[in-house]
């Protein structure tokens, strides 16, 4: 303990220097039972930080899915991306490791998927030609799947685009990209950007 450390008097809540036997404000006598250290707001803030976390994202395709696992240990970030073919075969397609303080910008971007827009237009044309209810249902289904959501991370020496889909079939765990932004914001708040839809 240092000489500059202060304590709070339990009787009058006044600040008292370490080692003082009597409170100069109210005259209360101190023993080992009555000394309560003042909490430093900077120390209290760092004690409340989340130090470890793991988040999963996946982008489903017709025959394969790209699964991204983002792991945080303090300020160290590890990203692994794996392809899952037909639900059986797994291949390692990417790995990145960097420090949170190296992140220059991070944001969530929503964009339209070109293949699904093409399929949507094609289904509309077929619907007008055939006017079948099944085709109309497929058109509505493709309309809901046209938007992609991606977490974009730009850091010193690299760029990551972590795609994320809503899980229609309940096949895996999906985390909200906002949780990743919140984790990074507590260490490096200047890099987090918010984009409007």
Question: What pLDDT does residue 179 have?
Answer: 83
Closest CA to 14 of 32, 43, 36: 36
Question: What pLDDT does residue 113 have?
Answer: 66
The backbone torsions φ and ψ at residue 108, rounded to the nearest 5 degrees and listed phi first, read -100, 125
Average pLDDT over residues 175-187: 81
pLDDT band of 146, cuts 50, 70, 90: low
pLDDT band of 195, cuts 50, 70, 90: low
Question: What pLDDT does residue 33 have?
Answer: 39
Domain limits of the chain?
6-38, 52-191
* DSSP symbol at 172: S
- For tokens 């797994």, name the residue: 90
Average pLDDT over residues 5-30: 74
pLDDT band of 118, cuts 50, 70, 90: confident
Side-chain half-sphere CA neighbours of 114 within 13 A:
0
| C-alpha distance across the termini of the chain, in Å | 53
pLDDT at 126 exceeding the cut of 70: yes
Question: What pLDDT does residue 173 have?
Answer: 62
Question: What pLDDT does residue 37 have?
Answer: 46
Could you read off the pLDDT of 80-107 as tens digits, one per residue?
888 777 766 677 777 888 888 888 888 8
């Amino acid at each position: 303990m240092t000489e500059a450390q202060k304590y709070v008097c339990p009787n009058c809540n006044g600040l008292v220097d370490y080692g003082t036997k009597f409170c100069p404000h109210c005259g209360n006598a101190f023993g080992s039972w009555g000394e309560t250290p003042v909490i430093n707001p900077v120390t209290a803030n760092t004690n409340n930080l989340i130090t470890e976390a793991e988040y999963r994202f996946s982008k489903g395709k017709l025959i394969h899915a790209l699964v991204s696992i983002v792991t945080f240990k303090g300020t160290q970030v590890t990203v692994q991306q794996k392809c899952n073919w037909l639900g059986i075969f797994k291949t390692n397609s990417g790995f990145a490791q960097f420090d949170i303080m190296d992140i220059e910008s991070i944001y969530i971007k929503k964009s339209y998927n070109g293949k699904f827009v093409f399929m949507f237009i094609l289904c509309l044309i077929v619907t007008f030609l055939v006017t079948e209810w099944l085709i109309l249902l497929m058109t509505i289904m493709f309309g809901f799947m046209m938007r992609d959501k991606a977490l974009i991370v730009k850091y010193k020496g690299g760029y990551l685009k972590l795609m994320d889909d809503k899980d229609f079939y309940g096949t895996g765990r999906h985390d909200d990209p906002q949780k990743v932004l919140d984790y990074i914001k507590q260490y490096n708040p200047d890099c987090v950007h918010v984009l409007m839809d």
